[in-house]
A and B are shown apart, each in its own frame.
Chain A
Amino acid sequence: MEKPADLPFNPKSPTLMHLDLNSCFATIEQQANPLIRGKPVAVAAYTSPNGCIVAPSVEAKRLGVKVGMRVKDGRMLCPDLVVVSPDPNKYRAVHLQLKQLLGSYTDKITPKSIDEFVLDLEGAPAFRLGMRELGREIKRRIREEIGDWLTVSVGIGPNRFLAKTAAGLKKPDGLEQIDNTNYLQVYTGLALTDLAGIKLNNTVRLNNLGIFTVMDFYLADIPVLKAAFASVLGYYWYLRLHGFEVDDAVFARKSYGNSFSLPRPFSSLEELSPILQKLVEKMGFRMRRAGYRARGVHVGVLYRDWGHWHRGHVQPEVVFDSRDIYKAALRILSGSPYRKPVHTLAVSCFDLVAGAHLQTTLLDDIAKKDNLVRVLDAVNERWGNFVITPAHMLAIPGRYVPDRVAFGGIKELEEIVLGSG
């Protein structure tokens, strides 16, 4: 097939490197415990039979264990599966060590998630070593300086998207490059769903316009792609596949939220409200520590029959005190028309306001409240979260709403840095 002679593939040297720590959580657990290395391991939110597997090891993946499976299903596939509880502090420590190591090559590092980094080496002295050689050196240093069981897949490309795609070509422990000399060969070997950002819905959109392969996707004209995505996204895809950068934007944080999957099927407001309060306490502390207040409060509920309900309200005044956020959230939750068993409860604050300026009101002594909240946060920061808690929260076991590392989100990573000081 001939490419229309409009925009050639970007001829620039590939300077972007994507690093992906293979089977991150499970590999780190194997690093920590040498006795489970080489064995099928699954990190699960809960180790009970109904617990959800969040990270299978390379060995477990080979036996068919997948993310999202129940522990009991994983054990059916693999009776020798070693199931481990998550240890967020350990994963954050590895993340910070990786970031420090990669920082010796360039200051242009973007953490994409807890286990993924993008390095832009354009203009960096390390670039002279050659991207592939650099990839090999980074792999070696990770094994020597962080953990001998840790492996990363390294992808090199002229833009972030192709670097990530290259990192996914060979797992685990891969080192692949996509550039203007081999992109056609790589595209020919990929399915549409192998591309990051193309899953079932986007595949259907593309199929509807006669695009069935990555080569079709690459060769498609801009108007066709714009029609497929019904937006400017089609143009962005055109640029991505031609090796041009469109993914270097940094988006501001828009909300803070916490959620919890309930171990028991609570349904009444009396049972749910202490959990809601703990979620609000955690979220409020994180939001204030980052220097934000919020105008909006949102509550989402996923029921055990997989139905869901959610509602968000903009408050008359900016809220920052967890007690006020809780009152608003409880009011929203009590407006739910359903009283059926809850699977997951989520609360978030949106419409964030940065900075310390407070709008005073006639009805409330805002400055006094602000001082009190600052003192409470300082005490909790000094002695550990929840050393001062609302009495209502004592109604739930301490193990509820545990510490977790978010998947995929990069905003939480700002908090890793905040919390490591």
Chain B
Amino acid sequence: MIQKLQVPVSVVSNFDHRRRTVAPVRVVFDGIPYFVRRIGFHHTYRRGRTLFHVFSVASDTLSFRLVLDTDNLFWSLEEISDGEAG
């Protein structure tokens, strides 16, 4: 099931200076920590002039759409899915 949300979320991210990549490694949602196992896709978009980075990531059981607002560096969770039909 895919659930649309719009909530602030705690995210630990990692910058690898050798590969020059940034990626979330841990998400805390509803008090439960989830370790990111896979980065599905990363893309950006602009709303007005504000740049948003969207990370579609998956833990062992859930996938998350995490959005980083580059104006205030706040993360929000916009979608959560268990991969099953809703």
Contacts and interface: CB of A to CB of B under 8 A. Distances in A.
B72 to A, nearest CB: 15
B81 interface: yes
Interface in A66-80: 75, 79-80
Contacts of A380: 48
Contact of B58 (A33, A383, A387): A33
Contact of A83 (B4, B63, B85): B85
B49 A34 contact: no
Q: Which of A75, A82, A84, A382 is most buried by chain B, counting CB atoms within 10 A of its CB?
A: A82
Contacts of B83: 33, 35-36, 39, 82
Given A39-B83, A82-B2, A82-B83, A381 B49 contact: yes
B82 interface: yes
A384 interface: yes
Interface in B42-86: 43-50, 54, 56, 58, 62-63, 65, 81-86
Interface residues of A, number: 30
B15 interface: no
Contacts of B58: 33-35
Contacts of A82: 2, 83-86
A147 interface: yes
A36 to B, nearest CB: 5
A175 interface: no
Is the contact region of chain B dominated by helix, strand, or loop, or is it mixed? Answer: strand
B48 A32 contact: no
Nearest to B61: A35
Given A80-B85, A382-B48, A90 B41 contact: yes
A406 interface: no
A387 B43 CA distance: 24
Contacts of A90: 41, 43, 54, 56
Interface in A383-421: 383-384, 387, 419
B17 to A, nearest CB: 20
Contacts of A32: 40-41, 56, 65
Given A36-B81, A89-B54, A84 B2 contact: yes
A383 B44 CA distance: 16
B63 A33 contact: yes
A93 interface: yes
Nearest to B41: A32
Contact of B49 (A84, A89, A383): A383
A261 interface: no
A163 interface: no
A81 interface: yes
Contacts of B4: 85
Interface in B12-60: 38, 40-41, 43-50, 54, 56, 58
A32 B48 CA distance: 24
Contacts of B56: 32-33, 90
A81 B41 contact: no
Contacts of B81: 33, 35-36
Q: Which of A35, A85, A382 is most buried by chain B, counting CB atoms within 10 A of its CB?
A: A35
B85 A79 contact: yes
Contacts of B54: 89-90
B37 to A, nearest CB: 8
Contacts of A85: 4
Contact of A89 (B45, B84, B85): B45
A387 B63 contact: no
14 contacts: A33-B56, A34-B63, A35-B63, A35-B81, A47-B86, A79-B85, A80-B84, A81-B85, A90-B54, A93-B44, A147-B40, A381-B48, A382-B48, A383-B49
Interface of B: 2, 4, 38, 40-41, 43-50, 54, 56, 58, 62-63, 65, 81-86
Given A32-B41, A35-B63, A93-B41, 17 more contacts: A31-B40, A32-B40, A33-B63, A35-B62, A35-B83, A79-B85, A80-B85, A82-B83, A82-B84, A83-B86, A90-B43, A90-B54, A93-B44, A380-B48, A381-B48, A382-B48, A387-B48
